[in-house]
């Protein structure tokens, strides 16, 4: 079974850049990758907060959160 | 030819955590991965600064820098 990777972003240039590069480098044979746009999918904000995400772009690998650079804080997306 | 990924760290818990998870998720069939410990390899600090790295852990994908969470600032490693 593949591991789960979720990339949370908000469509800003920092996010798009990280999405293309970092997500592009992941091993898709081992990871199922989902991309969540928190600017439009506001229903996923609670889930992101629960994971401990404070800003986007952020990458969750099996529930562990890694904030990548800084695009926008989660508070600004509400 | 493989693309180049360099992970800069300083041995702190934040770095080790990111190294294991993020580096572990990269596609090694497409990326040659090098790990640089800036706390011990101080001769690589200039290279890291030139890339635009301000804190560790940081991941460079083909020269593009992504700061992952925050472990230590580069200034603290000099």
Quick: pLDDT tens for B32-51. Answer: 999 999 999 999 999 999 99
In this structure, what token pair is assigned to residue A53? 């995400």
Residue of A nearest to B63 (CA): A21
* Gap between the Cα atoms of A35 and A41, Å rounded: 11
Count of beta carbons in the 10 Å neighbourhood of residue A62: 11
Low-confidence ranges of chain B (pLDDT < 50): none
Give B-chain residues touching A62 at CB under 8 angstroms: 21
- In this structure, the number of other CB atoms found within 10 A of the CB of residue A75 comes to 10
Q: Of all helices (H) and strands (E), which one includes residue B17?
A: helix B13-18
- Measure in Å the smallest separation between the Cα of B31 and chain A Cα atoms: 8
State pTM to two decimals: 0.93
**A61–B17 CB contact, under 8 Å:** no
């Amino acid at each position: 079974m593949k591991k789960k990777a979720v990339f949370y972003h908000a469509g800003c240039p920092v996010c798009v850049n990280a999405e293309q590069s970092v997500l592009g480098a992941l091993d898709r044979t081992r990871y199922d990758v989902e991309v969540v746009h928190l600017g439009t999918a506001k229903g996923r904000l609670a889930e992101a907060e629960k994971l401990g995400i404070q800003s986007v772009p952020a990458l969750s690998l099996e529930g562990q959160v890694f904030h990548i650079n800084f695009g926008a804080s989660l508070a600004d997306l509400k």
